[in-house]
């Protein structure tokens, strides 16, 4: 019996050796263990409740402005929650032909517009060389939920039994990366990531792994979401997950504050153009930051609540730091998941203290959701953009509406005002329903001079 087992093991090893040889033959630039190439960010794109591009969003973020207001897209007067982080003055016509708009749910429009910004920012056509070696990976939470609601309403209320031919192509999650790939002729890996509020972070992390491992040379990665619909708002309200500060919307999202009462639903898109350091240097691209680590795991505890003591989140951060080969004391800033819910903020604080020990009180932590709300599947990507900008400009975004200290949340949350700080290493956390956890590690790029970079921030 033992001999048979040994023979099976030898056979398995032979097969694995053969598979690895075949892999190396067909994919000479990648290997099963990864080639450890350095990955940098050279292009950014944003559509948020603070602005429809990176400059507007970042400047208003640094100024501590809120993009949260009463819902204007539909009549929310009959709902218990009537506030959200809606994107304002969004005009996709410069990027999307008006005839094409009817084929695109809003979540795909946000993806296309933010991707167009990121490609342009990265150098346009120069960034898109060897398109078969570029991936498109986009995190999505709901997909075309607006299309679903409208379609169901028409189907049952008007007697219309033949939905639009665009109904299915508008709502499926992977249609967003598909449209992005078609727009730019990108022929590498293409898929959507769906892990609730960790989706955008996971998309960036998976792109990072593929570039570092040699399977792709570049990627457009990020997240997109358009969940502000009557049914979605009502659904989250029924879970008592949302803030009910309808009369003071700009003060509703208050992460880590003792009076927090829930998150504020929001929408938008964030995209990053990522590539190998060698590729970026060869074409003289501007580098915002380097991605050096990625951690992902699951609490396996509860459908919506975080694991006690932040156990899963802590392990996720440890994995990301180990992947980056970064000592916890090197970290100077964490862009927290920071949803403004009682359980999440306390749990995340406990997780940070478990990982960083005494250093937790020396690093800065802030939640940009205090200003834009919670964009669900797009959150991890939008916050990855903000984290890259934090390193690039040397400026920490604040946590606004921090007024009353919570004894259970006792870290430095950069309260109410942005702060200058030459941070070298930063983390970005994203956690989702179902226990999904994601942590990204960024390092300030110092190969070229950063002198004067802060002057570019108009805040």
Q: Are 283 and 123 in contact (CB under 8 A)?
A: yes
Q: Are 47 and 114 in contact (CB under 8 A)?
A: yes
Q: Are 296 and 202 in contact (CB under 8 A)?
A: yes
pLDDT of 23 reads 42
- Domain spans of the chain, in order of start: 39-445
Q: Of 143, 179, 205, give the one whose Cα is nearest residue 429.
A: 205
Instruction: Indicate if the alpha-carbon torsion angle 313, 318, 319, 320 is positive or negative.
Output: positive
Query: Could you confirm whether 197 is annotated as catalytic?
Result: yes
Q: What is the mean pLDDT of residues 325-347?
A: 97
Query: Could you confirm whether 445 is annotated as catalytic?
Result: no
Using CA atoms in the order 225, 230, 234, 236, what is the torsion angle rounded to 10 degrees? 0
User: Which position among 374, 393, 438, 445 bears the catalytic label?
Assistant: 374
Give CA angle at 201 (199, 204), nearest 5°: 110
pLDDT one-digit tens code per residue, 434-446: 999 999 999 999 8
pLDDT at residue 92 above 90? yes
Lowest mean pLDDT among 19-33, 290-304, 426-440: 19-33
pLDDT of 21 reads 44
User: Which position among 62, 197, 316, 439 bears the catalytic label?
Assistant: 197
Q: What is 39-445's CATH superfamily?
A: Thiolase/Chalcone synthase (3.40.47.10)
Query: Could you confirm whether 202 is annotated as catalytic?
Result: no
Average pLDDT, the chain: 91
User: Which position among 52, 179, 316, 337 bears the catalytic label?
Assistant: 337
- CA–CA dist 265, 373 (Å, integer): 6
* CB-side neighbour CA atoms (13 Å) of 189: 21
């Amino acid at each position: 019996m033992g001999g048979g087992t040994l023979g099976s093991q030898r056979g398995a090893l032979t097969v694995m050796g053969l598979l690895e040889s075949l892999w190396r033959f067909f994919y000479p630039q990648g290997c099963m263990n990864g080639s450890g190439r350095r990955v940098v960010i050279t292009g950014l794109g944003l559509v948020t409740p603070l602005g429809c591009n990176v400059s507007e969003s970042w400047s208003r973020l640094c100024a501590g402005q809120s993009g949260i207001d009463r819902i204007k897209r539909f009549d929310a007067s009959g709902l218990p929650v009537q506030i959200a982080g809606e994107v304002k003055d969004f005009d996709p016509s410069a990027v999307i032909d008006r005839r094409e708009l009817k084929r695109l749910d809003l979540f795909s429009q946000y993806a296309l517009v933010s991707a167009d910004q990121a490609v342009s920012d990265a150098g346009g056509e120069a960034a898109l060389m060897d398109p078969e070696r570029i991936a498109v990976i986009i995190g999505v939470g709901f997909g075309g939920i607006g299309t679903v609601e409208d379609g169901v309403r028409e189907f049952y209320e008007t007697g219309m039994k033949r939905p639009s031919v665009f109904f299915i192509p508008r709502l499926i999650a992977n249609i967003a990366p598909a449209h992005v790939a078609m727009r730019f002729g990108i022929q590498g890996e293409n898929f959507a990531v769906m892990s609730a509020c960790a989706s955008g972070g996971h998309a960036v992390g998976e792109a990072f792994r593929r570039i570092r491992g040699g399977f792709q040379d570049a990627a457009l990665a990020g997240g997109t979401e358009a969940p502000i619909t009557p049914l979605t708002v009502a659904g989250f309200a029924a879970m008592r997950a949302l803030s009910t500060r309808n009369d003071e919307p700009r003060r509703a999202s208050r992460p880590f504050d003792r009076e927090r009462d829930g998150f504020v639903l929001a929408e938008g898109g964030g995209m990053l153009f990522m590539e190998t350091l060698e590729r970026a240097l060869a074409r003289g691209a501007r580098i915002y930051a380097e991605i050096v680590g990625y951690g992902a795991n699951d609490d396996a505890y509860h459908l919506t609540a975080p694991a006690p003591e932040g156990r899963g989140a802590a392990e996720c951060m440890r994995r990301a730091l180990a992947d980056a080969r970064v000592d916890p004391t090197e970290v100077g800033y964490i862009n927290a998941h920071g949803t403004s819910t009682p359980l999440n903020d306390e749990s995340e604080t406990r997780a940070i203290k478990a990982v960083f020990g005494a250093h937790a009180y020396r690093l800065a932590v802030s939640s940009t959701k205090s200003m834009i709300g919670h964009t669900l599947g797009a959150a991890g990507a939008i916050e990855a953009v903000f984290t890259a900008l934090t390193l690039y400009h040397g400026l920490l975004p604040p946590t606004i509406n921090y007024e009353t200290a919570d004894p259970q949340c006792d870290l430095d949350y950069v309260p109410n005002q942005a702060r200058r700080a030459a941070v070298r290493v930063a983390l970005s956390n994203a956690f989702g329903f179902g226990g999904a956890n994601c942590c990204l590690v960024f390092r300030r790029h110092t190969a070229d001079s950063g002198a004067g970079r802060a002057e570019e921030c108009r805040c």
